[in-house]
Structure 1
Amino acid sequence: MSPEYPYDDAATARAVVDDGGTLREWNEGARRLLGHTADEVVGRPAAGLLADPAGFALPADRPFRCAGIVGLRHRDGRTVSVWILAHHRPARPDGPGHWLLVTPLEDTAPLPDDDPLARTALAQSPCATAVYDERLRLRRFNRAMSDVMGVPEERVRGLRPSEIGGRRESEEIERDMFRVLTTGRAEDVRTLVSADVAGRDSAWLFRAAPVTDDEGRVRGVCLTMHDFTDEHLARRRLQLVNEASVRIGSTLDVARTAQELADVCVPALADFVSIDLLDAPEDGSDPCPVSLSFPMVLRRAAQQSATPGAPEVVTELGGTRRYPASSPQATCLTTGDTVLAEDPTQTLTEWLDEDPVRAGRIRALGIHSSMSVPIQARGSTLGVAVLSRFRRPGAFTPDDVLLAEEVTARAAVCIDNARRYSRERETALALQRSLLPRRLPRTAAVEAASRYLPAARAGVGGDWFDVIPLSGMRVAMIVGDVVGHGIKASATMGRLRTAVRTLADIDLAPDELLTHLDDLVLRLSVESGQDGTTGEVGATCLYAVYDPVSRRCTMARAGHPPPVMVLPGGGPARRIELPAGPPLGLGGLPFEAIEVDLPEGTVLGLYTDGLVESRERDLDTSQRLLCEALPAPAGAADAAETADTPDVSDSLDAACDRVLHALLPAGGAADDVALLLARTRGLPASQVATWDIPADPSLVAAIRKQVVGQLERWRLTETAFTAELVVSELVTNAIRYGERPIRLRLIHDTSILICEVSDASPTAPHLRRAKTYDEGGRGLLLVAQLTQRWGTRHTPDGKTIWAELALLEGL
């Protein structure tokens, strides 16, 4: 006995035998009973103490407790017939499994029954009651206690509570009884008793009260037991449902939500759980029982096992498996009811005959109980959850079925929410991809690389970017951000991007373009509102136009983060100080544009706020990280030499990845991100020719000769005739209808020849079809027929008429 109990341990013969049959402990009471000392028997086979080794053996199936009369061999050679109570304690992390064998040595007489009424009340009481003496040895218990213990009173009289119960919980109760014995105060103890051989847990309330004599001295302890297992199981089921409501649905990811359902059910409800889901129909509709066909194809979304390594797994995560009509999965999905299989090898014979691999796994693991629960929500059939037991001996009860259905129903709503969100996200992503440029155009002005990343949680938003070739070899670069996320934001983004391309096509200045875009956003806000109120459409935008001839960039922004640039020849990246301007949609407020000199080889970075805004750091730190991650550009000469090589664009692509890696967390950004990097190019002066034109029609012929001479120097004689006609028409119109000063400019690129005529008049010509007897009106029509493109752009000093001719070398 433990030193905390100052009572004679020799009143009970007690021995411990491990699962291998070897004696491990031998107390003084066992020596008194059989005469053998501990040194003589400990470490030896216990069968050596049996008078007839073949007549008795501990059960191989390891029940919790067994009892019986056994013939034992005394040290002097005689046989002693002993009644033994044997408790099996399974292996635990702190030690291997073993048997505890006890038998009382003293014939402790029961308490006298002086009062017949008290004797009858004790015998017939529905409460299990036992009386222990001052040594905590049993003196008496009633019939209800005998039924609970499973042994008759006369066999265990004289044993302590821990020896009668045999469980670790019995040792705790014995310590509580000893405290009652020493303090004289009653105690109530709630105890959860571990599963018995049938796999059932039980919960008991123990009332330990002191038994005193007439003088008030404590003479023993009265122990009363009350079974509250049903209340305990109901509380545990309620706790599991509450845990499921907290743990399931933490994200809008279908696989994660399915895994959370499996994690909640193991090991609280089952030893193995698999979650199989139906793939969404191709037409985008919700699956329903009427639309299901056989064999049914399910995809494994999640699984969880109480056994390390999950030996139960037949289908890997993400894999599919076909289930015939005879399978419980198909049955529960078509009927909408849970299918319970008490013995899968017997009740599911037809299905398992078609799946020998699964049948073999069930037999090998000893799966004895299984239930298939349909996962349904909002009239949609999503899949099936299969719960199996093989470690715990008890089969699924009707209460377990109700609990599984309740937990699965809660998870089904979360899975359906995640599925609907995923479908909307995929739709928005597809819309976003269709609205964003698939590839950036190759231009002589810049080389560019871009990235777009949707938000990790919020999904697709309204961020966009674009590169638009303009007249005169110029290029427009745009980055914008629409407020909000989802399909609505993507659709609004598409409308704004189309509007920007349309406005850019008429060569509006950046500040004027933002003004028109602001009007459009304001109208969209009114349209999205109700009863004439303003809606929630808003956006920010940065618009920049770069001219490779002048190497100047004009830019304006509407509430958007300012761009950054890295000048050639080294040096740190820096932010371009650009007037902020109001966000689009406020209306009535002006935008301001500035011009910046960008030497050839300058890297320009345009981005949305999702790249630099973070909860982990301030905006200045993000700006510093962005500047550090931008590439150090090569010199102008190097950039010109490598302008058409893939190495340069690859370096910009690498820079995009480096920027995203430096600024975005591993799990993705909280907001969507658009990033556009552009390295500027310059057009050499040798490819540009400019003439000031006098306002004299008689000098047009001389101008044509100068143009032909320039084309000969550029070795473009094949295009000279067409260019001569176009220049003649444009110059003549400018002299006749325009205002001085008039200027002619030719720009030569590898594939096109651009003719530009500028004058101080803001009036733009219009293309029209001349009538039969009209003397004029055919000039612009002729220009339109001879060139690839032509148009007009307004300048602060007037206008410019331009036309592009395709070179034979570039065709």
Structure 2
Amino acid sequence: MRDSHSAGSSPPTPLDGAVAAVVDASGTLVSWTAGAARLLGHRGPGGPPLGRRARDLVAVRRSSGGLEPYGGAPGGRVLGLRTRDGGVVDVWVRLVPLASDAGGDGVLVLGLPMETLADWRDGLAIGAAALRQEEWQITLHDRDLRVRRSSPEVARAGRLSDDGDLLCAMARVGVEGSASDVLRQVMATGVSVVDESGLLRGSPPEARGRVYSLTAAPVRDLRGRIDGVFSSLVDVTERFRSADRLDLVYRASRAISRSLVAERIAEELVDFLVPALGDLAAVEFFDGLASGAEPPTRVEGLNADFRRAAVKHAHGPWPDDQVAVGEVLPLVPDRPGFRSLERGDVLVGNGPGDYREFLGSGPGAGRMVPAGTHASMGAALVAGGHVLGYVQVFRTRRPHRFDGQDAKLMKEIVNLAALAIDNARRYTRERRTAAALRSSLRPPVSGSTAAVDTAGFFQAAAGDVGVGGDWFDALPLSSLRTALVVGDVIGHGLPSTTTMARLRTAIHTLADLDLPPDELLTRLDDLVHRMAAESEHPDSVGASCLYADYDPVSRVCRFASAGHPPPAVIDPDGGVRLVDVPPGPFLGVGGMPFELVETELAPGSVIALYSDGLLTADAAGGDASGASEADVTDLLRSACRPGRPLEEAGLDLVAAASPTRRHADDTTVLLARTRAIAPGDVAEWRFPQDLEAVARARRLVGAQLADWHLDELVFTTELVVSELVTNAMRYATGPVGLRLIRDRVLVCEVTDTSNSHPRLRRAVSTDEGGRGLFLVAQVTSRWGSRYSETGKTIWTEQTIPR
């Protein structure tokens, strides 16, 4: 703040605005000054009031009490004098008797307008109040910075020498230069300083650790020249320490809340406590914390149930004679201090034996108190009523003791750490539960059917993301077909894993109905929509899914997608192409159709289904939006080279999503190498709707099985064909189809135009029919039905003897 007076202008003086007049012995006004004339509204020293009685100029006699806040001054009185225009001006007046050589008496009237007098009175009052107060160190310095005036607090602080010099120079915290430099700068520039020099720290031993705030302003003489400086020092130690503690708590909160791994939080905690509070620090955890076990609510001493998790020494390695990281704490008998710790209190010891006294005299106590300890603090990590562990801080080289403010700061930091560690414990428990559930639901890594050889792979997300809801499946369907599924549930953790389990169960059930992929996703979408309606957080329920079924007879693969990345096909010659499957809406959106895409595959082709974690891993910097189709095809071309085992190819793919890439999502990959049924292993016929065709169907089947050297299956197969073809002829309209497929099993299919559902039942002895399907079920290993737009197909499977 710049002073309002420049060096070229004179500041006001006590005589500025003063007026005078002379009244003779008869009370007549005989003379007055030009200032008095102007005060009463006259233009010059002459004028009508001269020669008149001075009493006529007095309008009213004021009492000083009635003129507050102006007031009078000792030795005078306040008069209200009439002005030329009829107004009244208040003037403090003092009468001085005059004596002349001629013997005539008179009176010299001296006056000051009350406004001028009030200005001077207020200025003097402010200065006097500042110099008399006993809280701030107020000092008035001359140009050599010697003390001209000072408040009593300056002397009490021991900052004045016998000859008036100011002792105990102040050094600014965080700013180069001393307080004397600031005062000289104020005198040189005329610019005031209001707490701009920062905080000042006292240098004498008794003032060390005290923090002050400096305000300084230039002081001018009566001619307006700077001839000194005014300074004020205010003790702001507590305010400074409060701000420092608040900053420490804020930094501690940021340091210990960045992880969901308890051991890492412990390391961050000791890194913060040393050197912020002490020279050494250690953190111990309940031994079952790493596995997510429930910590105790009461600790009756230490009984090998707590293990040291992190340590730090400010001046070197951790002492060899102290409990090391990973080591179980020594036995300590139960003491009342444990109850205090469980309540959240901080135990402070400011003597060499205080902490040892708490730990007892057992052989293990010495391994928990470093040599040279003169001050110590200990607190328990308590959250939700459970004791998670302990934190200890020691001072060995610092001379200061721990005080109440240190204990308060320790408590705040430990409470923050306890919440973070408890969150990590709960997260670990949930992650382990989700991982165990996921592991129990995971299908075999590799498998083989008549249609495909498969290999599935899963790579969990790196870091603290949590177990996700990715899954894959390879499901055998009727007539040697195989369904391939990959899905990704929204979110992570146990809720997404349980949602994934429900979806897998639903897909297994729907797949048994032999639904086309688009219709299966439609029904699955209805299920997820109902699940969202039942959830407390419906926006968090949803999933993407890609469903495909492959027929080794026609070599046609059908795809349908619910918001999932497109599948890829690696041809036998190594060429890679992405199948253009419209992604469709996510499961749970409802009301939107899914499109069916068919493509014919050469035998030995590899179908690659994957989750978006593969895109994230392949993208530069871990950003999925940066992964292009070319990136994905290049990755698949490199991994799925012709003739390479699927297991090796899958491992290469998930290696791209290794934790070192810090991907933020699970990676799931399902690879399937296709097979084809040779035309010579398929036989099919069509018969008109005529019961006489049943006998012909039995003969054709018997002859075909003989050609295939499956004579041992002729009787049972003719029985199956006889029952199924007869039912088709009797209850359906139009021609009837019959197909045999030979592979690992013998498949028999009968197709008709009816949509009636075949139902297995047990016929009683009086029933004339109803035993056909029962007999079919007895002589086959599996049977079922599937529907199409033109009718239904009933199929059976029989095991081919080796």
Same fold, judged at TM 0.5 (above): yes
CA contact (8 A) 2:469 2:490 kept: yes
In structure 2, relative to structure 1, the CA distance for the partners of 1:705 and 1:399 (3 Å cut) is same
2:388 matches 1:388: no
What's the counterpart of residue 500 of structure 2?
A: 493
User: Equivalents in 1 of 2:168, 2:290: separation in Å?
Assistant: 67
User: Equivalents in 2 of 1:659, 1:235: separation in Å?
Assistant: 48
- Deviation of 1:207 after TM superposition, in Å, equals 7.6
- Deviation of 1:284 after TM superposition, in Å, equals 7.6
Matches within 5 A, 1:507-522: 507-522=514-529
In structure 2, relative to structure 1, the CA distance for the partners of 1:296 and 1:197 (3 Å cut) is farther
What's the counterpart of residue 804 of structure 1?
A: 797
User: Equivalents in 2 of 1:275, 1:516: separation in Å?
Assistant: 54
2:607 matches 1:604: yes
In structure 2, relative to structure 1, the CA distance for the partners of 1:780 and 1:460 (3 Å cut) is same
Q: Which moved more, 1:194-203 or 1:136-145?
A: 136-145
2:546 matches 1:546: no
User: Equivalents in 2 of 1:146, 1:180: separation in Å?
Assistant: 24
CA contact (8 A) 2:457 2:651 kept: no
Q: Which amino acid aligns with 2:488?
A: D
CA contact (8 A) 2:341 2:347 kept: no
User: Equivalents in 2 of 1:195, 1:311: separation in Å?
Assistant: 35
SS at match of 1:289: coil
What's the counterpart of residue 668 of structure 1?
A: 663
CA contact (8 A) 2:373 2:395 kept: yes
Residue deviations 1:614-637 (CA, integer Å, cap 9, x gap): 8965647343322211146889xx
SS at match of 2:740: strand
Q: Which amino acid aligns with 2:674?
A: T
Q: 1:788 aligns with which of 771, 781, 786?
A: 781
Matches within 5 A, 1:229-240: 229-240=237-248
SS at match of 1:235: helix
In structure 2, relative to structure 1, the CA distance for the partners of 1:178 and 1:805 (3 Å cut) is same
User: Equivalents in 1 of 2:231, 2:167: separation in Å?
Assistant: 12
- Deviation of 1:281 after TM superposition, in Å, equals 7.8
2:272 matches 1:264: yes
- Deviation of 1:469 after TM superposition, in Å, equals 0.6
SS at match of 1:277: strand
Size of the alignment, in residue pairs?
A: 667
- Deviation of 1:678 after TM superposition, in Å, equals 2.1
CA contact (8 A) 2:300 2:333 kept: no
Residue deviations 1:539-594 (CA, integer Å, cap 9, x gap): 332211101121111122233332222222122x2221123333333444433312
- Deviation of 1:685 after TM superposition, in Å, equals 3.0
2:351 matches 1:324: no
SS at match of 2:572: coil
User: Equivalents in 1 of 2:221, 2:588: separation in Å?
Assistant: 93
SS at match of 2:724: helix
2:308 matches 1:300: yes
Q: 2:587 aligns with which of 580, 584, 588?
A: 584
- Deviation of 1:470 after TM superposition, in Å, equals 0.6
User: Equivalents in 2 of 1:718, 1:196: separation in Å?
Assistant: 110
SS at match of 1:407: helix
- Deviation of 1:708 after TM superposition, in Å, equals 4.6
SS at match of 1:362: coil
Q: 1:652 aligns with which of 645, 649, 652?
A: 649
Is the radius of gyration larger for structure 1 or structure 2?
A: 2
User: Equivalents in 1 of 2:226, 2:541: separation in Å?
Assistant: 83
In structure 2, relative to structure 1, the CA distance for the partners of 1:519 and 1:680 (3 Å cut) is same
- Deviation of 1:783 after TM superposition, in Å, equals 1.7
Q: 2:382 aligns with which of 376, 384, 393?
A: 376
In structure 2, relative to structure 1, the CA distance for the partners of 1:170 and 1:451 (3 Å cut) is closer
In structure 2, relative to structure 1, the CA distance for the partners of 1:762 and 1:373 (3 Å cut) is same
What's the counterpart of residue 18 of structure 2?
A: none
- Deviation of 1:536 after TM superposition, in Å, equals 6.1
Q: Which amino acid aligns with 2:791?
A: G
- Deviation of 1:408 after TM superposition, in Å, equals 1.8
What's the counterpart of residue 23 of structure 1?
A: none
In structure 2, relative to structure 1, the CA distance for the partners of 1:589 and 1:136 (3 Å cut) is closer
In structure 2, relative to structure 1, the CA distance for the partners of 1:238 and 1:168 (3 Å cut) is closer
SS at match of 1:730: helix
In structure 2, relative to structure 1, the CA distance for the partners of 1:287 and 1:216 (3 Å cut) is same
User: Equivalents in 1 of 2:577, 2:351: separation in Å?
Assistant: 73
Matches within 5 A, 1:151-190: 172-173=178-179, 175-176=181-182
Matches within 5 A, 1:429-440: 429-437=435-443, 439=445
User: Equivalents in 2 of 1:556, 1:125: separation in Å?
Assistant: 85
Q: 1:555 aligns with which of 550, 556, 559?
A: 559
In structure 2, relative to structure 1, the CA distance for the partners of 1:762 and 1:666 (3 Å cut) is same
What's the counterpart of residue 5 of structure 1?
A: none
Q: 1:767 aligns with which of 760, 773, 787?
A: 760
Q: Which amino acid aligns with 2:788?
A: T
CA contact (8 A) 2:359 2:365 kept: no
User: Equivalents in 2 of 1:605, 1:655: separation in Å?
Assistant: 13
CA contact (8 A) 2:175 2:198 kept: no
SS at match of 1:769: coil
What's the counterpart of residue 298 of structure 2?
A: 290
2:779 matches 1:779: no
User: Equivalents in 1 of 2:673, 2:369: separation in Å?
Assistant: 62
Residue deviations 1:756-776 (CA, integer Å, cap 9, x gap): 223333334322212213343
Q: 1:250 aligns with which of 249, 253, 258?
A: 258
CA contact (8 A) 1:567 1:633 kept: no
In structure 2, relative to structure 1, the CA distance for the partners of 1:769 and 1:214 (3 Å cut) is closer
* Root mean square deviation, CA, Å: 4.7
SS at match of 2:766: coil
User: Equivalents in 2 of 1:199, 1:294: separation in Å?
Assistant: 43
User: Equivalents in 1 of 2:155, 2:640: separation in Å?
Assistant: 94
CA contact (8 A) 1:611 1:660 kept: yes
What's the counterpart of residue 595 of structure 1?
A: 598
CA contact (8 A) 2:219 2:227 kept: yes
User: Equivalents in 2 of 1:355, 1:775: separation in Å?
Assistant: 92
Q: Which amino acid aligns with 1:666?
A: R
CA contact (8 A) 1:193 1:201 kept: yes
In structure 2, relative to structure 1, the CA distance for the partners of 1:213 and 1:561 (3 Å cut) is closer
Q: 1:747 aligns with which of 736, 741, 744?
A: 741
- Deviation of 1:208 after TM superposition, in Å, equals 8.2
User: Equivalents in 2 of 1:738, 1:702: separation in Å?
Assistant: 18
SS at match of 1:409: helix
CA contact (8 A) 1:259 1:303 kept: yes
- Deviation of 1:176 after TM superposition, in Å, equals 4.9
Q: Which amino acid aligns with 2:466?
A: G
User: Equivalents in 2 of 1:199, 1:307: separation in Å?
Assistant: 28
CA contact (8 A) 2:606 2:672 kept: yes
User: Equivalents in 2 of 1:157, 1:433: separation in Å?
Assistant: 84
User: Equivalents in 1 of 2:291, 2:653: separation in Å?
Assistant: 37
SS at match of 2:329: strand
Matches within 5 A, 1:400-439: 400-437=406-443, 439=445
In structure 2, relative to structure 1, the CA distance for the partners of 1:500 and 1:412 (3 Å cut) is same
- Deviation of 1:179 after TM superposition, in Å, equals 5.3
Matches within 5 A, 1:334-353: 334=342, 336-345=344-353, 347-348=355-356, 351=359, 353=361
SS at match of 1:773: coil
- Deviation of 1:215 after TM superposition, in Å, equals 11
- Deviation of 1:400 after TM superposition, in Å, equals 0.8
What's the counterpart of residue 29 of structure 1?
A: none
In structure 2, relative to structure 1, the CA distance for the partners of 1:548 and 1:539 (3 Å cut) is same
